[in-house]
Amino acid sequence: MPDPATAPLQDVIAARLTDALAPTHLLVTNDSAQHRGHAGDDGTGESHFSVVVESAAFAGLSRVARQRLVNRALADLLETRIHALAIVAREPGA
């Protein structure tokens, strides 16, 4: 697991989601450059992210329940380092 204090936040997010959800597909995108100067931009270039995650852990869950699983895996980062997170969470084959 990358060190959250020194590794790029994009890598930390990917590692956390991999550990928590064993995804069959995962794409983490740093969208921070698109939000430069906007609310929540802390100047680090690591404040706004999008994730697309496909996992069997989502089978039978609602969209909200899926997003809660993602948020739980990243809870401390959402409180301290991530200002915005767009989530697409789906089960395999959906």
**Structure confidence by residue, pLDDT tens digits, 44-84:** 667 889 999 999 999 999 999 999 999 999 999 999 989 88
Determine the average pLDDT of the residues in 3-25. Answer: 92
The three-state secondary structure class of 13 is: helix
Q: Is a pLDDT exceeding 80 seen at residue 5?
A: no
Domain ranges in the chain are 9-90
For residues 74 and 13, give the distance between their C-alpha atoms in angstroms, rounded to a whole number: 7
For 9-90, CATH gives 3.30.300.90
